[in-house]
Structure 1
């Protein structure tokens, strides 16, 4: 699988490059963008131990001057204090306006690095090198950057489009299973909101809870996913389901962002499952539930709300929920979570408009709508059933 997907934007279009082994081409790919020579690579300890030196070696081989900064791992570190530390590293290494920050990691690292790049010297270059499935298919694409506020997720941030998104599927071989499953929540989301064919492909797979079941045995060697010429499940030419997941999900995100860069309308559909999902994350202190797990819970809730409002059928929501379960994701609220606390948290969600909570709700597989006409009693009723 070698793919290049264009995110077409009025001011700064960019490519999503998907290719096994492409981490070693990072420097060469960045060199073609005619960026300044100074680079600050930001990562976390878990990712850096596997891939940090390879990324740095590639950058140096292409003539870049590289410094690195390692932040602690976890959503609870996605704060202004962490961004301040990136600023300190930028100052120490004298990053000028022509310099570039490279995010090597998952969505947390990407969001914080992108926000730091947007605000350092009023904006410098930024490159995404996502290392989790969730970041590859969602967080690294589209330019949303930011940090959490204690009372809400991503309340502080900026739109800052990267110059490049470089996806090397081989790095997923070191991704913990729970993190892989969390990424599958966003993949399922694209099937529900945009791409019915992707939904059908996911339904046809016997298992979605581990990457090895999405790749033909011929592609799996002792080192993991490692082949520039993928084969189909039957062992003949074509693409694996993993290839399809990456390319179709990235294409869906690129299509939506190209039509609506700053969420004036259509892009809001990407928040499917996120309204209640964000409330679950914040109420559990960003430590108990992974983002993708919260989105899965939010999708279950949104699907049932749509059923209660007569917008889609019980059969369709059962199909969605079956995919979520097949991916090893939760469909129930964490025990002990107060329903009224969730209702209250929804009121400070960044998607609230004119005091009304906006929900993304499905009308059929592949199609959703955005509405602020969801009675609180319906939300309570659905949440009590979870």
Structure 2
């Protein structure tokens, strides 16, 4: 039985599949540049998760929200003398190429710009129900009745107030959540008679994707660990208000950060490594094995020198795949024991390597769940 760590509860819990279907929503990249290996690590983990469920004959829906309404997109488009929509479309196409090169398929990409109408309707509905209020030209979610706020990030009310989220003197509380921004000027804005001319803010963009595709109720939300606060706390608060459910999402899962010399890898810091550049020197299999050699919840420092070892392991597995024993040593049960313990991929890799060395008859099963291509 699958055990999965839930960030909201802060412990591993039994994941029970309902209706033989698992519905997942992932926080994907902001599309103003090429995908880096931090993005790759996160997406490869959820590809593994989906492959595991499918290996058990369970249906899986994976939606990746794509942020294309963002100041970074607007600024990059202006510098490139093109429109924000055109720039975003270019980098979505490039992302799809990178996903294909990594062997990730079956993901549905959802542009937040395609869900603006939904966002407008949701924000207006929360205004009319009294769960949100308009102040200083913006619309905020009133978090006074949101008892779970801060629980995922293990933050007290004082911690939340001290963070001063979306600072504005017009807010009722420092922790209230900005949902519609009509007080600032952006390169792109959307006209609404009730809300004013503005844009759906980051947290509402993703809530709109969740509501439009899943009615706000789904099994697993995923993303990088840096998104726990404020983004996923805000996402949960909005879904609670919209669905009237305390737990609209059954499990909140987070992938650790990839660092460079102790610093988070990010485009804004200029220390990223593009997926496509790395794939010129190493196979997609080697990159998968490298990431899976660390537990998904752990941060780690990227080291290209380590990749060489996993390229050699990839070559060894390729050789073993050509000479598997039909009735050799059975190892799938041990492999799945590791996978089902909160996706213990380091332990599963040890079983995989042992299986390759012994030419196990179960090697193909393990290779398939890891998404390795031979």
TM-score when scaled to structure 2? 0.28
Structure exhibiting the larger radius of gyration computed from Cα positions:
2
TM-score (norm 1): 0.28
Higher relative contact order (CA 8 A, sep 6+): 2
Greater percentage in helix = 1
